[in-house]
Amino acid sequence: MTKIDSITVDIIENALKNVKEEMDVTLFRSAMSPVIREQHDCFPMITDPDGKMVVGNFGSHVPEVINQFPEGVNEGDVIFLSDPYSCGGSISHINDWMVIIPIFYQEKIVGYSSMFGHVMDVGGPVASSMPVTAKTIYGEGVRFPPVKLFEKGELNKAIISIIKANTRTPIENYSDLMAIVASCRTAEKRVQELCERFGAKFYLQALDALLERTNVMMRQLIQNFLPEKPVSFEDYIDDDGLGNGPYKMKLTIWREGDNAYFDWEGTDKQSPGPINYYLSDSMFKMFIGAFLISVFDPAIMFNDGFYDVLHVKTPEGCLMRPKQPAALGCRTHALSRLFDVLSGALSINTPQNSPAAGYGTSPYFIYSGYDEEDRYFNLMEVMYGGLPGRPIGDGLDGHSWWPAFVNIPTEYLETYYPLRVEYYQTGTDSGGAGLHRGGNCNEKLYTCLAKGSVSIHDDRSTIQPWGINGGEPGSSSSKLLIKKDGTKIPLASKVDNVEVEPGDQILFITGGSGGWGDPIEREPEKVRQDVSRGLVSIDKAKKAYGVVLDPVTYDVKEKETVELRNQMKNTREPLTAFNFGNRGEVVKM
């Protein structure tokens, strides 16, 4: 049999990358919910015939789902699901709606296309279906095990009826679901075109070559950068919203030859509240691969080809592998904090090679009610914070953990929802000081223009994002309800059903991030620029960086700066690899 050449493999690789991008564009132009349409909370994937992800953003769940259909799948079938427990955690809560389409060419399956997106509301007691007080998944809304939404091209209208009857946003949900289907069908068509152009035999050979190429490269990364002796790191989630916590997340890593091992033994038991995160092994392998590839070799193709060299142990019943029917709605705290723990473990022996800790969650602002024309509204906005200082430079200010996520434009919010955004800005001094400064937080002030209810999901309100390699920790998050009479009421980081009246305001401040490296080694000119841009105050420039500035012109006073920095070096405590700030000895509530 003729073997495919490397140039054809490269052509098919780039074609598939473009198909993935086209899946996104199709969804963004068709969906109605702002969290998908504007913020891009969705994840596409294309697999080989065995269900291995060839291009995408998350680990493949396809084999586990397809095996739940003993009758098999046919051309024209469209599988739909929203239950994390039915797909090994590949979707993390019931607001994530997933679609899988088998791709046929000349009556044979040549792969699968899949997409999941976060829909606005799936029922339950609280708008947007992520109640802080939920103690089981039954209290969060309606979930769907894998079902055939279309069977041989025929729509199952009963599923649509059930969906519409169990949500506060039936029009948006139906539109979002059909947009997700359209996205997957776009990939189906493009893959069939590739098979037509190159032949199915060569197309499938290219998929095998892409998976093998990634496998070889990942083995090299593991041998070059992972320790042979086990190392452990731990970080904490503040609480579960029900008065329990903090919750420890502990990870131990090591390698044996060119295979890597990741063990969550020592992580706290699952929470009574909804901060549990059902960590799919394939999803975590994807996270590991994404981290190693982005840090050490960004040219590597991101796919499932390296999964057999990564081995994950997650004890059943812990925070990262809860037993059904544990609540999962607020799982983003553990999901995002996972990256801080992974980064910390990988940096134990070489802190100079890894970033500090970031804001470590996906904060949510939820506002619902009826406007002055008695129309129901339901806003769910994902907020962002500071990304950590890194070996190559400063952390990003007010950025999402997920690279593809973006802000909902203020014009969109004020057009479609009864609120006004008074300001949306970065928080001065919220990023940890360092040779490379930690990214600053976001500060957003909303004015509510209709009576309604507000819910908030956030973390890092008590436990700071740690600095690394001499860097200082970032700031904590905070929330404030400002009544129209001026009364100020602090809010918890996890709270439901805060009643608001027209004229009331919500000040939403996310967490900053840790700095990287010794702050007094930062170039004074960079400190001056930070101060002039409002990112760092004159006072912090002096106290943390040892840079003395003219209070009017912001010019660096070079002599005073040299003298102050020499004094600081001689009198300060020795720098540490990790600076945990106010974490200290974490005490259970």
Alpha carbon distance, N-terminus to C-terminus of the chain? 66
Report CA torsion sign: 301, 302, 305, 307: positive
Q: Residue 3 is encoded by which pair of tokens?
A: 């073997």
Among the listed residues 579, 62, 548, 88, the one whose alpha carbon sits nearest the alpha carbon of residue 312: 88
DSSP code at position 241: S
Give the span between the Cα atoms of 420 and 377, in whole angstroms: 14
CA distance 385 to 478: 12
Residue 378 pairs in a beta bridge with 368
The pLDDT value recorded for residue 587 is 36
By 3-state DSSP, what share of the chain in percent is helix, strand and coil, each rounded to 5?
A: 30, 25, 45
Q: Give the separation between CA 362 and CA 353, rounded to whole angstroms.
A: 25
- pLDDT, residue 59, reads 67
Helix (H, G, I), strand (E, B), or coil: what is residue 326?
Answer: strand
Query: Which pLDDT tens digits describe the chain residue by residue (589 residues)?
Result: 578 899 999 999 999 999 999 999 999 999 999 999 999 999 999 999 999 999 987 767 899 999 999 999 999 999 999 999 999 898 999 999 999 999 999 999 999 999 999 999 999 999 999 999 999 999 999 999 999 999 999 999 999 999 999 999 999 999 999 999 999 999 999 999 999 999 999 999 999 999 999 999 899 989 988 999 999 999 999 999 999 999 999 999 999 999 999 999 999 999 999 999 999 888 888 888 877 777 677 777 778 899 999 999 999 999 999 999 999 999 999 999 999 999 999 888 888 888 999 999 999 999 999 999 999 999 999 999 999 999 999 999 999 988 789 999 999 999 999 999 999 999 999 999 999 999 999 999 999 999 999 999 999 999 999 999 999 999 999 999 999 999 999 999 999 999 999 999 999 999 999 999 999 999 999 999 999 999 999 999 999 999 999 999 999 999 999 999 999 999 999 999 999 997 754 433 3
As given in the structure block, the two tokens for residue 257 are 């030859």
Q: Are 150 and 5 in contact (CB under 8 A)?
A: no
Helix/strand/coil for 152: coil
CA distances 45 to 48, 85, 356, Å, are 10, 20, 30
Distance separating alpha carbons of residues 112 and 531, to the nearest angstrom: 51
Q: What is the DSSP letter of 549?
A: B
In this prediction, residue 132 carries a pLDDT of 97
What six digits make up the tokens of 376?
A: 């129901």
What's the pLDDT score for residue 352?
81
* pLDDT at site 509: 98
